[in-house]
């Protein structure tokens, strides 16, 4: 339970994990709690165990771990109460009345009809949103005994009308569903591997149906729910029950209500992003992690945990199955399959008769480019558009161009606070730093030599958008990136226009690569794959392969065959040739062999110690002492300290120290000691440090 406790001059919310009647702390230093905030424990014992495991494994203060597990309002001491809303519902008598009988009172007829279509009732908020006053007609209908106003806990998301079609599972899907449902009631971990469109979601749906039929709940984690509203819709339609949502697009109180609805068992299914992995389950049935390879499951600041890994540990603690799904599984999960810790379920073919897309590599060295677009790509676009189909172009760089340079003296516009170039945003005539948010007007003359010959270097989505508008002036185009979708609802509108076919060319960043289903896209192109081919991060090739396959997965999802064009200056790069000729599976096998030979994850275990400070020496000193401290531990390999890839960010100097071991236990033991010791070190007070276990991103 939560307790309110005095803390310095203020008060704060604490978590009461255990009660003891002895202590070594002097009596006069103990303080009394001000209040106990919960009458009932917020989480069952198994979930507390998971939290304590996470605090130990990630070496993070248990209070912050608990805080991460609770919605903000609970963290702040808010009441764990379901809020009540009033709903207008038909009575049994009201269901028998044909609305036409009320022809002389059209608003009453409308309300009655509306209520009949929504047996669960219409929320007051929806009624107040009408442009006429619903109260008088409602009062009349209530008087007749046809409607009633009921109060109840806030409903989650209303049920949608059922779909008119549900597919018959193919043999592979059937086997996957049967294997997972056979494991209900005990712990097992599954990796569902299937190309985009192979029917993974269909497998989730049927597993969840069985879980629901057994009176249990399902927790589904997705990378970015707000990007894929159709998925929530598909679940609501198929399952015919209210579904709780938990993601950053909701208000704090909505998140709290979804959390409580699962805790009380009032909602049976929760769809959520990373932090939903901690949502309580009154009757746990299954946990599903879709797109398990996705980086968004990793919390990148504060309590740096992997929601996928926590999901697996939590499922073990709860004795329920966990299913990880992906078209491009992480090498970690594939290694776990090889070690027989996960059972592999495979969907090798696209479902419903769609065929796999064809790859085409365009060697940019031999081409005359128009703003980064090669003639073969432009030709393919033209024929695709002529056929009435859609084109999707991917470039993971927003803005107009990543660099502004002076043709006279070579000056480059850089951020004052970061070791980074400023990105040109042409429409606003501004230069922006994508690392710290700094921005300034675009200069018209070079600040170094005064020349007015300033030129943009490189390509961003805004620049491609302009080039395409010239090339295909009559073709409706949508640019989908973070700059262009800031306004609430604008992304939904763009996605809707894309799905309906109104938009013909879709151009975008990561936002466009993931999870969407655009039926008429038959040509997908990656405008610049080279950026990913020569990464300094050992995970660079895995990321690039995943990205290429994700973008490819957008092409040809229904009856129309798809083509994927890769623009590169390195057409013979082994990553590309393996991926294209043999598929992701073979790429992954080769990549795993390399990792094994190098002792890198998943065959080695890492922890990254980061430190940053206004003065570079302050950050470096702490890591040097840590490195020194580790040097006599034979089980540890120590790399660094070294400057972070972006050494200066927002005016702070950043360094890192990498610790690696062949096994988890010696690394865990070393971290435990170091974290306890470091608190007493003066060096630790002169910088900000953070420890990340199983780091995925060294940025």
> What is the C-alpha to C-alpha distance for residues 592 and 603, in angstroms, rounded to an integer?
9
Report the Cα 116 to chain-centroid distance in Å: 37
Token pair for residue 650? Answer: 């927002």
Q: Is 200 in the site for ligand ADP (CB under 6 A)?
A: yes
Q: What is the three-class DSSP state of 472?
A: coil
Instruction: Report long-range pairs for 228-232 (Cβ below 8 Å, ≥24 apart).
Output: 228/514, 228/515, 228/516, 229/492, 229/495, 230/495, 230/499, 230/516, 230/517, 231/201, 231/271, 231/515, 232/157, 232/271
Residues 6 or more apart whose CB falls under 8 angstroms from that of 535 comprise 541, 543, 544
Q: Is 170 in the site for ligand ADP (CB under 6 A)?
A: yes
Q: Is 352 in the site for ligand ADP (CB under 6 A)?
A: yes
Contact 260, 42 (CB under 8 A): no
Give the β-pairing of 84-90 and 122-123.
antiparallel
Q: Is 194 in the site for ligand ADP (CB under 6 A)?
A: yes
User: Distance between terminal CA atoms of the chain?
Assistant: 38
The one of ligand ADP, Zn ion, none whose footprint includes residue 408, by CB under 5 to 8 A per kind, is Zn ion
Binder among 181, 189, 201, 606 for ligand ADP (CB under 6 A):
201
Token pair for residue 225? Answer: 């729910």
Which residue lies nearer to ligand ADP by CB, 291 or 612? 291
Contact 195, 485 (CB under 8 A): no
> What is the C-alpha to C-alpha distance for residues 304 and 255, in angstroms, rounded to an integer?
21
Q: Is 349 in the site for ligand ADP (CB under 6 A)?
A: no
Binder among 50, 90, 189, 196 for ligand ADP (CB under 6 A):
196
Q: Is 198 in the site for ligand ADP (CB under 6 A)?
A: yes
Which residue lies nearer to ligand ADP by CB, 262 or 548? 548
| Cα-Cα-Cα-Cα dihedral sign, residues 59, 60, 66, 68 | negative
Which residue lies nearer to Zn ion by CB, 353 or 441? 441
Which residue lies nearer to ligand ADP by CB, 200 or 398? 200
> What is the C-alpha to C-alpha distance for residues 323 and 591, in angstroms, rounded to an integer?
24
Q: Is 169 in the site for ligand ADP (CB under 6 A)?
A: yes
Which residue lies nearer to ligand ADP by CB, 141 or 511? 511
Q: Which residue is nearest to ligand ADP (CB)?
A: 352
| Cα-Cα-Cα-Cα dihedral sign, residues 103, 107, 113, 119 | negative
- Cα angle value 351/513/218 (rounded, 5°): 60
Minimal CA–CA distance to 512: which of 298, 227, 272?
A: 227
Give least dist CB 314 to ligand ADP, A. Answer: 23
Binder among 71, 197, 223, 532 for ligand ADP (CB under 6 A):
197
Binding marks (x or -) toward ligand ADP, 124..163, rule CB under 6 A? ----------------------------------------
Give the β-pairing of 430-432 and 423-425.
antiparallel
Bridge partner list, 521: 390
Give least dist CB 54 to ligand ADP, A. Answer: 29
Give least dist CB 688 to Zn ion, A. Answer: 18
Token pair for residue 132? Answer: 């006429």
The one of Zn ion, ligand ADP, none whose footprint includes residue 169, by CB under 5 to 8 A per kind, is ligand ADP
Which residue lies nearer to Zn ion by CB, 438 or 629? 438
The one of Zn ion, ligand ADP, none whose footprint includes residue 430, by CB under 5 to 8 A per kind, is none
Give the β-pairing of 439-441 and 430-432.
antiparallel
Give least dist CB 353 to ligand ADP, A. Answer: 7
Binder among 43, 281, 351, 548 for ligand ADP (CB under 6 A):
351
Q: Is 202 in the site for ligand ADP (CB under 6 A)?
A: yes
Give least dist CB 59 to ligand ADP, A. Answer: 36
Contact 408, 454 (CB under 8 A): no
For ligand ADP, how many residues bind (rule: CB under 6 A)? 15
Give least dist CB 273 to ligand ADP, A. Answer: 17
Give least dist CB 192 to ligand ADP, A. Answer: 9
Give least dist CB 443 to Zn ion, A. Answer: 10
- Window of 14-22, 196-204, 503-511, 663-671 that interacts with ligand ADP by CB under 6 A: 196-204
Token pair for residue 671? Answer: 């971290």
Looking at residue 603, the DSSP 8-state letter turns out to be S
Q: Is 348 in the site for ligand ADP (CB under 6 A)?
A: no
Contact 291, 222 (CB under 8 A): yes
Token pair for residue 204? Answer: 């989730």
The one of Zn ion, ligand ADP, none whose footprint includes residue 201, by CB under 5 to 8 A per kind, is ligand ADP
Bridge partner list, 5: 12
The one of ligand ADP, Zn ion, none whose footprint includes residue 288, by CB under 5 to 8 A per kind, is none
Give least dist CB 406 to Zn ion, A. Answer: 3
Give least dist CB 427 to Zn ion, A. Answer: 20
Which residue lies nearer to ligand ADP by CB, 224 or 266? 224
Binder among 41, 106, 119, 167 for ligand ADP (CB under 6 A):
167
Which residue lies nearer to ligand ADP by CB, 326 or 484? 326
List residues binding Zn ion (CB under 5 A).
406, 408-409, 411, 415, 417-418, 433, 435-436, 438, 446, 448-449, 451
Bridge partner list, 479: 507
The one of Zn ion, ligand ADP, none whose footprint includes residue 351, by CB under 5 to 8 A per kind, is ligand ADP
Contact 200, 192 (CB under 8 A): yes
**How buried is residue 15: exposed, middle or buried, by Cβ count under 10 Å (0-12/13-18/19+)?**
buried
Residues that bind ligand ADP (CB under 6 A): 167-170, 173, 194, 196-202, 351-352
């Amino acid at each position: 339970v939560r307790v309110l406790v005095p803390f310095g001059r203020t008060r704060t919310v604490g978590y009461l994990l255990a009660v003891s009647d002895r202590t070594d702390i002097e009596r006069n230093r103990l303080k009394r709690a001000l209040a106990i905030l919960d009458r009932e424990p917020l989480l069952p014992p198994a979930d507390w165990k998971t939290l304590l495991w996470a605090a130990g494994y990630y070496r993070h203060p248990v209070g912050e771990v608990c805080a991460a597990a609770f919605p903000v309002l609970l963290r702040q001491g808010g009441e764990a109460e379901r809020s009540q809303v009033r709903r207008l519902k038909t009575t049994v008598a009201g269901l028998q009345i044909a609305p036409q009988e009320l022809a002389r009172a059209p608003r009453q007829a409308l309300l009655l009809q509306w209520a009949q279509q929504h047996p669960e009732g219409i929320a007051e908020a929806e009624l107040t949103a009408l442009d006429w006053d619903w109260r008088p007609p409602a009062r009349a209908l209530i008087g007749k005994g046809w409607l009633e106003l009921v109060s109840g806990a806030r409903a989650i998301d209303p049920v949608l009308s059922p779909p008119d079609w549900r597919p018959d599972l193919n043999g592979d899907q059937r086997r996957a569903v049967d294997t997972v449902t056979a494991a209900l009631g005990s712990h097992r971990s599954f990796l569902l591997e299937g190309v985009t469109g192979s029917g993974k979601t269909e497998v989730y749906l049927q597993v969840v149906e069985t879980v629901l039929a057994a009176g249990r709940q399902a927790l589904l984690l997705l990378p970015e729910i707000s990007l894929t509203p159709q998925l929530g819709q598909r679940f609501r339609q198929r399952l015919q029950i209210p579904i709780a949502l938990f993601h950053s697009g909701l208000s704090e109180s909505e998140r709290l209500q979804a959390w409580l609805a699962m805790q009380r068992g009032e909602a049976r299914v929760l769809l959520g992003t990373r932090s939903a992995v901690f949502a309580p389950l009154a009757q746990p049935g299954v946990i599903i992690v879709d797109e398990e390879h996705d980086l968004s499951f990793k919390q990148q600041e504060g309590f740096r945990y992997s929601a996928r890994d926590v999901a697996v540990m939590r499922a073990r603690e709860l004795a329920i199955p966990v299913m990880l799904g992906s078209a491009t599984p992480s090498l970690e999960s594939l290694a776990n399959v090889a070690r027989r810790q996960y059972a592999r379920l495979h969907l090798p073919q696209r479902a419903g008769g769609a065929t796999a897309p064809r790859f085409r590599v365009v060697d940019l060295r031999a081409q005359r480019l128009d703003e980064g677009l090669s003639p073969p790509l432009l030709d393919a676009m033209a024929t695709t558009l002529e056929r009435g189909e859609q084109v999707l172009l991917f470039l993971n760089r927003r803005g107009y161009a990543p660099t502004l340079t002076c043709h006279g003296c070579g000056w480059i516009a850089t951020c004052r606070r970061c070791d980074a170039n400023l990105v040109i945003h042409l429409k606003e005539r501004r230069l922006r730093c994508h690392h710290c948010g700094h921005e300034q007007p675009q200069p018209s003359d070079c600040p170094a030599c005064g020349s007015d010959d300033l030129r943009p270097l490189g390509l961003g989505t805004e620049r491609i958008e302009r080039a395409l508008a010239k090339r295909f002036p009559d073709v409706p185009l949508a640019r989908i990136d973070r700059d262009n979708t800031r306004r609430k609802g604008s992304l939904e509108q763009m996605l809707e226009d894309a799905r309906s076919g109104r938009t013909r060319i879709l151009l975008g960043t990561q936002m466009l690569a993931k999870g969407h289903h655009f039926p008429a896209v038959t040509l997908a192109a990656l405008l610049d794959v080279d950026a990913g081919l020569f990464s300094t991060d050992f995970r660079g090739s895995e990321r690039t392969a995943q990205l290429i396959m994700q973008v490819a997965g957008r092409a040809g999802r229904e009856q129309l065959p798809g083509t994927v064009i890769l623009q590169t200056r390195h057409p013979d790069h082994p990553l590309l040739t393996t991926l294209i000729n043999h598929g992701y599976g073979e790429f992954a096998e080769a990549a795993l062999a390399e990792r094994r030979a190098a002792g890198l994850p998943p065959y080695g275990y890492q922890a990254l110690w980061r430190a940053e400070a206004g003065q570079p020496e302050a950050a470096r000193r702490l890591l040097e002492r840590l490195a020194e401290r580790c040097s006599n531990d034979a089980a540890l390999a120590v790399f660094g300290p070294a400057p972070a890839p972006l050494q200066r960010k927002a005016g702070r100097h950043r360094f890192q120290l990498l610790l690696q071991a062949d096994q988890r236990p010696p690394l865990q033991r070393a971290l435990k000691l170091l974290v306890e010791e470091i608190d007493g070190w003066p060096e630790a007070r002169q910088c900000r440090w953070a420890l990340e276990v199983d780091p995925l991103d060294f940025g």
